[in-house]
Structure 1
Amino acid sequence: MRTNIRNIYRNICITDSVYVDIGTKKVKGKVYPRYLIRESRWENGGSKQRTVANISDCSLEEVIAIKLALKYKGNITDVLRDIDEIHTEQGLSVGAVFSLFKAARDLGIAKALGNSENAKLSLWMILARLIEPGSRLANVRLAQRHAAVDVLGLNNFNEDDLYGAMDWIESDQRRIEKRLFHARYGEKRPTLYLYDVTSSYLEGEKNEYADWGYNRDKKKGKKQIVIGLLTDDEGWPISIEVFPGNTSDVKTFASQVKKLAHEFGCESVALVGDRGMIKSDQMDVLAEQKFYYITATTKSQMETLLKQGTIQLELFTEELCEIENEGIRYILRKNPVRASEIGESRNEKMETIRKLIETENEYLEDHKRAKVITALRNVEARIVKLNLSPLVKVESSGRTLAMKIDDTALREESYLDGCYVIRTNLPVDRGSMETIHGRYKDLANVEWAFRTMKSDEIELRPINVRLKPRTRAHAFIAMLSYIIEKRLRDKWKDINITVQEGIHELSSINCITVQVGAVKYNQIPEPREIGSKLLGALSVTLPKAITCSNVRISTRKKLELKRKK
């Protein structure tokens, strides 16, 4: 039981010679702090000492408060009058780092990482990507403005220490992922998982994963890496993996299946992937583990199914329709909104060709030496670029060009607009057609995760590390940051504010560093109304004050020297 502070106060007020004796005690070879309230009396020509109370079970903050109260116990208002004894200054930002740390603990991330120094540094890099994403050097400088040391209990560190922490978290990634997985689901493991891949461009060409490939970022002239993300059906990330930049989507699939089977101990689950992810080879890999799949067919596969008579065109309506053939279930639907969008897009492309032909005809008329063959090539090249080759042709009559539309080809091209077929081998008793349709649509959760990680909120890209382990660590840190971001987004959904704006608002809550004599602490003011709402939604209560460790963060690379150069 905590020492009764009120009784102690009654005892010490009867004398003027009471003080706090701070020392240590050794128990079984271990040294512990020892705090005693002592009384000094003058008796029979000598000083006599008496212990009034043992307050060793009090926190350091309480001990400091008692020591300060004893110093001014005659008149506590002297604390305020003695202005030379009190000094206040603006302290570090505390609101964002404290709230994000609380979220990381609630999600089990802090526990999964552990309590080592590398774990704490890794956690700071995770939080820093949400507060103000940047390089390792930027993370160090961010800690000079935010109370990362006092909240997370860090020692002095620089960018080299953060690189060391990246090496550590990469080597421990599988253990951390499994800890998070079991903490979140326990024995009730999900039965449906979503998987998708993306690419991320690189600055420079020295990254060990760097290679040329299909660049989803549309960043010309940049090598890239490929990233695979595995989530549950609600979009909560489970595992992330990095591949060389020239890796095709389907080649990333097998490792994720084996991870679910062997590392996470999942049995009889269904993996959801888009039409380019799960093909015949991937279905064989799933069959080896007795897993199921949910995917979609390509347009050419839909046409084959129509020719075979497996499905019929009239079955495509706004309502779901299911056909089963040879153990495979096909869920059919036509999205009228998407059909209209595709038709409008096609018409806009054809109008672009018409305008180009008009421009070329005007040029041919005004420039008698211009070659018709050159104008034809220009139009044909644009037709190919807009994927209109089967539908549109350009012909010349004298020095005039004309567009010819193949009506038959246009009808064949448009009759499947907005139509899609979802394919699965999941038994009927494991999921209805509505469930299967919904789970396939849930792939948008993975796409949203990628967009968020690659946006300004977390900045997965550009990647400014070179070594393979650190590239994997960078992606893993970004994934853990996204888990926290998703939590904040869910908690703040009823507040008219984005996650970025919310974190920025919390970052404005700064400590006030108060020094009274030799005693120094960080006092936390009451937040504004919007800050209180954000904290309340996260169930966060900021303390009135936190300790002041006096640890000074410094970078190895000095900005002053860089400016002089």
Structure 2
Amino acid sequence: MAFIRRVRTASGATAVQVAEYTSGRQRIIAHVGSAHTEAELGILLARARDLVEDRDQGQLDLGLEPVQQRTALLGEPAVPPETLFETAPATPSPAGPVSSGRVTGTSSRLLFDSLATVYDSLGFTTALGDDVFRDLVVARLVEPTSLADIGRVLAEMGREPASYSTLRRTLGRAAGAEGGGYRDRIAEACFAHAITSGDVSLCLYDVTTLYFEAEKEDGLRKVGYSKERRVDPQIVVGLLVDRHGFPLEIGCFEGNKAEKHTIVPIIRQFQARHRLESFVIVADAGMLSAENLTALDDADLRFIVGFRVTKAPIDLESHFRWHGETFADGQVIDTVTPKRGANVDNNSAVRAEPVWDPDTHQGSWRAVWAYSTKRYVRDNRTLNAQEAKARAVIAGEKADRAPRFVKNGKAGKTLDEAALARARRLAGLKGYVTNLPADMMTASEVIGSYHDLWHVEQSFRMSKTDLAARPMFARTRDAIEAHLTLVFTALAVARTAQDRTSESIRAIVRRLRVLRSATIAINGAQQTFAPHIPADEQALLAALRG
């Protein structure tokens, strides 16, 4: 008959084996495993009991509650260290029946550890030394929620959450200027990472708005221009990233502040923080103003800014005179544009376009114009829709206060044929204004650098959707700044995780969250066991570790 035996191994572990007597001698049938903890021993004994148990043999029901014995390890030392006198070894309990294991809890500890590893690799742990703030960042990445509910998210990842008051104090430190301020130290760590992994010779800038679930305005939260046509109080947030979308600087402004008035303060703050002399700033047409470009140029900064197509007739006057209104797909025209007023540096009587020189053309910037057939088709489709809308308004079929291409005169509303013709003439054109000379950056490189702006737009989308940066419920300036600091840090971790794995942070969380560790109570002890990790997820974890 088979029985269970326990043997102490040379390493001090307790081996569990299934044996039987044959001809008066013990014969090992199966080696179940070696245990180093009482919980492991209980699991091995339960597994061994399943091997020994005869499933066909019934049990006599006497109405007695079975008593489950606790089985001790044989590998425990008989004489504990640091004792003065030797004591008699404790007699191990017999290898009696052990109760079935019970799962007392599960957690996505693997997910937390993976994201915390990315957080550490960016230097944030060294810069801040605040584990509670790290927990807040990881929780924001996994499931953005309120501060009151964040303990649940952390508990599901096997973390012992800090108290609500501790979480609030941590956010207070993130907003304040104590120790240089969390925002400053995080920005410095981000800059160091960007320098190490690439360069910051070219940075991308854009703005967005974050609205509040509030009815009244205050000094910061104000109703302003919203692309979504919202009338809630909002703030304007400016974000500076490197050419790959990794965040470098963030700042917030009053909700009614114009976009073009945000770029210079953010750039100066970034330049002063890191003592940079010169780099290239890329921004869209919303940042375009004569004051902005002059201020950036005076600070010895290079810029590439999207240009309004309404400037094309002035800049391309020579082209229209000598080549007409036709363009070839992919055609690029490198010329100049006046800083203010008329273009005196581009003589339309001369066939060749002038090559911009900062010393020669002090009243102009360099302008690069590109034509695309694909853009022409898209622009023309938009113009057709706008024309149809204008005609519907003129005919009284549709009500609209100020549609494009409708002009009001003595005869009432009429179609602005001249404006429509000018717009069709310029369809397919896209302009870029810069203070980079042609010998420093070619026209194609100027266009390519501008097209990298989708990286900062993607970062904004990540912050709004994956990190749930809005709507905001904070009321005070400090609370708003703390929220932005948290989102800024989480965005840095998310972008790094995405770059390492080529997967979105949402996909990473979805794949790793289901790999749950289990805590099992057996043999009077508890132990946590890691989950089985499929090969694809092992590759994902290896990529996250960098």
User: Is the TM-score greater than 0.5?
Assistant: yes
Residue of structure 2 aligned with 1:179, choices 189, 209, 214: 189
Q: State the secondary structure of the residue aligned to 1:430.
A: coil
Residue 9 (structure 1) aligned with residue 12 (structure 2): yes
Which whole-Å CA distance do the structure 1 matches of 2:497 and 2:168 have between them? 27
Residue 160 (structure 1) aligned with residue 203 (structure 2): no
Q: State the secondary structure of the residue aligned to 2:510.
A: helix
Task: Verify the 8 A CA contact 1:208 1:466 in the aligned structure 2.
Answer: no
- Structure 2 vs 1, CA of residues 88 and 464 (structure 1 numbering), >3 Å: closer, same or farther? same
Unaligned runs of 5+ in 1: 11-18, 21-36, 42-46, 51-69, 150-155, 361-378, 397-402, 541-565
Count of residue correspondences: 446
Task: Verify the 8 A CA contact 2:194 2:246 in the aligned structure 1.
Answer: no
Q: How far apart are 1:186 and its partner, in Å?
A: 4.8
Residue 132 (structure 1) aligned with residue 119 (structure 2): no
Which whole-Å CA distance do the structure 1 matches of 2:219 and 2:167 have between them? 20
Post-superposition Cα deviations, 1:390-444, rounded to whole Å, max 9, x if no partner, equal 5x99979xxxxxx965554432221111212211111334322222111111112
Which whole-Å CA distance do the structure 2 matches of 1:359 and 1:188 have between them? 58
Moved more, 139-148 or 434-443: 139-148
Residue 345 (structure 1) aligned with residue 361 (structure 2): no
Moved more, 302-311 or 104-113: 302-311
Residue 325 (structure 1) aligned with residue 356 (structure 2): yes
- Structure 2 vs 1, CA of residues 6 and 483 (structure 1 numbering), >3 Å: closer, same or farther? farther
Task: Verify the 8 A CA contact 1:92 1:146 in the aligned structure 2.
Answer: yes
Equivalent residue letter for 1:325: W
Residue 92 (structure 1) aligned with residue 107 (structure 2): yes
- Structure 2 vs 1, CA of residues 296 and 169 (structure 1 numbering), >3 Å: closer, same or farther? same
Post-superposition Cα deviations, 1:283-338, rounded to whole Å, max 9, x if no partner, equal 23223321111112223332332458799765854133322335332221012222
Corresponding residue number in structure 2 for 1:385: 402
Corresponding residue number in structure 1 for 2:175: 170
Corresponding residue number in structure 2 for 1:512: 518
Residue 215 (structure 1) aligned with residue 226 (structure 2): yes
Corresponding residue number in structure 2 for 1:264: 274
Alignment of 1:330-409 (within 5 A): 330-353=367-390, 360=397, 382=400, 385-389=402-406, 407-409=417-419
Equivalent residue letter for 2:489: L
Which whole-Å CA distance do the structure 2 matches of 1:311 and 1:113 have between them? 62
Q: TM-score, normalised by structure 2?
A: 0.72
Task: Verify the 8 A CA contact 1:294 1:425 in the aligned structure 2.
Answer: yes
Alignment of 1:140-155 (within 5 A): 140-149=151-160
Corresponding residue number in structure 2 for 1:474: 483
Corresponding residue number in structure 2 for 1:104: 119
Which whole-Å CA distance do the structure 1 matches of 2:489 and 2:171 have between them? 13
Which whole-Å CA distance do the structure 2 matches of 1:389 and 1:355 have between them? 10
Which whole-Å CA distance do the structure 2 matches of 1:206 and 1:537 have between them? 46
Which whole-Å CA distance do the structure 1 matches of 2:417 and 2:424 have between them? 10
Q: How far apart are 1:348 and its partner, in Å?
A: 2.3
Which whole-Å CA distance do the structure 1 matches of 2:90 and 2:483 have between them? 51
Task: Verify the 8 A CA contact 1:96 1:504 in the aligned structure 2.
Answer: no
- Structure 2 vs 1, CA of residues 408 and 122 (structure 1 numbering), >3 Å: closer, same or farther? same
Equivalent residue letter for 1:526: H
- Structure 2 vs 1, CA of residues 329 and 516 (structure 1 numbering), >3 Å: closer, same or farther? same
- Structure 2 vs 1, CA of residues 357 and 388 (structure 1 numbering), >3 Å: closer, same or farther? closer
Corresponding residue number in structure 2 for 1:368: none
Which whole-Å CA distance do the structure 2 matches of 1:183 and 1:164 have between them? 28
Task: Verify the 8 A CA contact 1:310 1:325 in the aligned structure 2.
Answer: no
Residue 412 (structure 1) aligned with residue 417 (structure 2): no
Equivalent residue letter for 2:151: V
Residue of structure 1 aligned with 2:532, choices 526, 537, 562: 526
Q: CA RMSD in A?
A: 3.7
Which whole-Å CA distance do the structure 1 matches of 2:140 and 2:113 have between them? 15
Structure with more helix by fraction: 1
Corresponding residue number in structure 2 for 1:546: none
Which whole-Å CA distance do the structure 1 matches of 2:460 and 2:276 have between them? 24
Post-superposition Cα deviations, 1:122-142, rounded to whole Å, max 9, x if no partner, equal 212211122111111121222
- Structure 2 vs 1, CA of residues 228 and 258 (structure 1 numbering), >3 Å: closer, same or farther? same
- Structure 2 vs 1, CA of residues 395 and 288 (structure 1 numbering), >3 Å: closer, same or farther? closer
Equivalent residue letter for 2:170: A
Post-superposition Cα deviations, 1:438-478, rounded to whole Å, max 9, x if no partner, equal 111111211111122111x1111001111112211211211
Corresponding residue number in structure 2 for 1:239: 249
Corresponding residue number in structure 2 for 1:63: none
Equivalent residue letter for 2:194: R
- Structure 2 vs 1, CA of residues 169 and 71 (structure 1 numbering), >3 Å: closer, same or farther? farther
Which whole-Å CA distance do the structure 2 matches of 1:437 and 1:73 have between them? 78
Which whole-Å CA distance do the structure 1 matches of 2:537 and 2:389 have between them? 51
